[in-house]
Amino acid sequence: MYGTLEFSAIINPPQSGILAVGAARPQPVVAGGAVTVATVDVRCTLSVDHRAIGRGPRGPLAAAFTTRIQDPLGCSSEPRGC
């Protein structure tokens, strides 16, 4: 929002969580000895009320979110792509 790269959102009752998404920016990548812009970097911060999700491991939630955001249509699991 407004070019901000990263921030933390505040949970307001009765919310149990809120996702803060920073600005998208191009990320340089070296491929074949040349620098190109091949990816976009977006920082996300998830604030949650621990009472709503329990005290269990948060790793699976973070892994599922990362997988979904990197491939929203699930195309990488298909042999020919989308």
- Tell whether the torsion through CA atoms of 55, 60, 62 and 64 is positive or negative: negative
Query: Which class for 48: exposed (0-12), middle (13-18), buried (19 or more C-beta within 10 A)?
Result: middle
3-state secondary structure of 61: helix
Among candidate residues 50, 63, 67, 73, the one labeled active-site is 50
Task: Specify whether 19 is catalytic.
Answer: no
- Tell whether the torsion through CA atoms of 3, 5, 57 and 68 is positive or negative: positive
Active site residues: 50
